[in-house]
Chains A and B, each alone.
Chain A
Amino acid sequence: MRINRRKFLKIASISVLGFGVKPTIDLFAGHEAKAKIKQSPKALRAKRWAMVIDLRKMNEEIAKKCIEACHRFHNVPHIPDKKREIKWIWTEPFEHAFPGQSHEFLGTELIEKPVLVLCNNCDNPPCVQVCPTKATFKREDGIVMMDMHRCIGCRFCMAACPYGSRSFNWMDPRPYIEKENPEYPTREKGVVEKCDFCAERLDKGLMPLCVEASEGAIIFGDLEDPESEVRRVLRERYSIQRKPELGTGPSIFYLI
């Protein structure tokens, strides 16, 4: 059979395309029934989780306890090089936590107050908007989650976050973890991480670790529930947020 080169190439390419039929069909195949999975009965539910940090009750000691509790449980490494550090929750002086809302005549108490800062789990998060793979996404209850399996490490979310809440693993973090917690995974180099309001604890009916360690300085609850403690406290006291003018809708409020 005589066949010229063009015809051969045409037939060959169509055959190769033919190999793609089964995988394509598999891709669109229906998923198994979800009858095998359920949520834990103890899981805490909310329409929008929020946190209120009472700066009047906050001091260095309590802040340290909160940070230790979080970082220890979540295997957050302690990296001495400030350029590569990873932190989910830390303290900042007032003028750095609220750059647009401080002035040069603040009282000493406020200047020296350690403000606990962490991911605001915003209602309109710019990081979720820019993530090209939906590795960071907003859960139904308002928590901005990190899917470590999908993150490609492009760090677009880090550029987008107006609060500097996100950290990147510039190298393998394991050598820098003092004491590994066997109940929680570590991360590996190349992915971004941040606080996620202890979503894994909420799903089991437990409060976030920083809330538990704060001796009452941090209140946590459902912002959409008018009877919750967070709503009550926001009604009674004056509160501010970080960079509210950007429209990100942060879920953390600070009582001054």
Chain B
Amino acid sequence: MFEKALQGSRKYWALVCFLAALVGLGFILFLWQLKVGLKITGMSRDVSWGFYIAQFTYLVGVAAGGVMVALPCYFHNYKVFGRITVLGEFLAVAAIVMCLLFIIIDLGKPMRCLNVLLHPTPNSILFWDMVVLNVYLLLNLIVGWMALESERYEVPPPKWVKFLAYFSVVWAPCIHIVTAFIYCGLPGRHFWLTAIMAPRFLASAFAAGPSFIVLFCLIIRKFTKFDPGKQAIQTLGKIITYTIIINFCFFLFEVFTTFYSQIPEHMNHFKYLFVGLKGHAKLVPWMWVSLIGMFIVCILLAIPAIRRNEGSLAFCCVLVIVTTWIDKGLGLVTGGFVPNPLEEITEYWPTVPEALITLGVWATGFLVLTILYKVAISINEELGE
């Protein structure tokens, strides 16, 4: 089946080369980071996690969002999603690859990463994160590949694939629950110490993941002969609508608890993000774009006519992705560290090398996605003839 990835149109190869170039650039800069140290990033003693971990946090949600497509199909026989479960699974693979890469490049000593397995520490959530992410990667890779292969040869998939498929649906929420647990169990970080962290992760994951899938479906329909089906896209649109509204509500719940209880140590983080604190306000415009954008998209998506028009639906999906990315990829991590436990403020902003390395990792993910999708689409086109 992999030979399908080696045959393609000029546009396909152009895309692959472009992504490979970005990967190469990111890799060279990463080698420089290995040589010189993490000082090339914008992280500091106070904001000790930054862009890399923020991307990992966001992408772990996107990876689990693929389950939103698999769950109705496998558990409830919703055959409308039958053609796109493989898209969800391969998106999960690409997203998890990015997550793992982001974690590795963030480490101070990445060559020692096997220490996590050599000295297993069950009380550390990072240990469980490694376990959970790698298992999920394997699950999606195996299930997606096997399902595709069975479809190609027009045979029903073997029973153990079905079992793994069910298992991956149950496993998917685990990956971002564990990631949320990284944050919400730390006693010194009041911005993160809230039980609603895991539900927030779930909600934004189930909004962002399907948004990616909708956009990919529309792009695939435009450039190839594979048509995921209008109804599949519409159902995904409905899922995104509900989850983004829930996500927005969860945020409002947090605002209520923080500002009604008026505890300064809790309010300070929100104040830094949304109005600035003691003159430091780098993130304020970004957070308001995210908030207002999310509110607008909630209203837009709630209008059926907007959802039915695939153009406006695509616009809403982009907006969902951007606003959830700002929220999880920028606001969450920085907001937790500013102000620091001694109520001092050190701001954070990614540096250019940091941003380019991040771009390289995103390009790696998209490259993996392009190749896997090419295989899936080519096989579907072949079947369609």
Contacts and interface: CB of A to CB of B under 8 A. Distances in A.
A and B touch in the complex (CB under 8 A): yes
Interface in A80-95: 82-86, 92, 95
Contact of A133 (B116, B185, B189, B337): B116
A193 B308 CA distance: 56
A162 B187 contact: yes
A151 B346 CA distance: 25
A132 B126 CA distance: 6
A246 B190 CA distance: 11
Contacts of A162: 186-189, 341
A47 interface: no
Interface in B321-352: 336-337, 340-344, 346
Contact of B39 (A152, A170, A243, A248): A170
Contact of B119 (A150, A170, A191): A150
A248 B337 CA distance: 19
B231 interface: no
B123 interface: yes
Given A162-B187, A169-B37, A95 B343 contact: yes
A106 interface: no
Given A96-B344, A133-B115, A247-B187, A156 B45 contact: no
A154 B45 contact: no
Given A132-B130, A152-B109, A160 B186 contact: yes
B44 A161 contact: no
A134 interface: yes
Given A132-B126, A169-B108, A190-B108, A156 B187 contact: no
Contacts of A192: 108
B108 A152 contact: yes
Residue among B44, B45, B110 with the highest chain A CB neighbour number at 10 A: B45
B45 to A, nearest CB: 6
Contact of B45 (A84, A92, A191): A84
B47 to A, nearest CB: 8
B119 A99 contact: no
Interface string A142-170: 00000000111111101111111001111
Given A96-B342, A132-B124, A152 B112 contact: yes
A129 interface: yes
Contacts of A167: 45
Contacts of A92: 342
A44 interface: no
Interface in B171-196: 182, 185-189
A202 interface: no
B39 A171 contact: yes
Contacts of A169: 37, 108
Contact of B341 (A82, A131, A163): A163
Contacts of B49: 155, 159
Contacts of B116: 132-133, 152
Interface of B is mostly: loop
A205 interface: no
Contacts of B337: 159
Interface of A is mostly: loop
Contacts of A159: 48-49, 186, 189, 336-337
Given A152-B107, A156-B182, A168 B48 contact: yes
A110 interface: no
A191 B112 CA distance: 11
Interface string A199-235: 0000000000000000000000000000000000000
Nearest to A93: B342
Contacts of A163: 188, 341-342
A189 B108 contact: yes
Nearest to A102: B343
B130 A191 contact: no
B372 to A, nearest CB: 23
A165 to B, nearest CB: 9
Interface in B34-58: 36-39, 43-46, 48-49
Contacts of A95: 343
Given A169-B37, A170-B37, A248 B187 contact: yes
B7 interface: no
Contact of A131 (B45, B121, B336, B346): B121
B127 A154 contact: no
B346 A83 contact: yes
Contact of B121 (A99, A126, A134, A155): A134
B125 interface: yes
Contacts of B43: 83, 170
Contacts of B108: 151-155, 168-169, 189-192
A97 interface: yes
A98 to B, nearest CB: 9
Interface string B247-264: 000000000000000000
Interface of A: 82-86, 92, 95-97, 99-100, 126, 129-135, 150-156, 158-164, 167-172, 189-192, 243, 246-248
Please list the 7 inter-chain residue pairs (A to B) with the smallest Cβ-Cβ separation, ordered nearest first: A153-B108, A162-B188, A190-B108, A83-B44, A171-B37, A189-B37, A132-B126
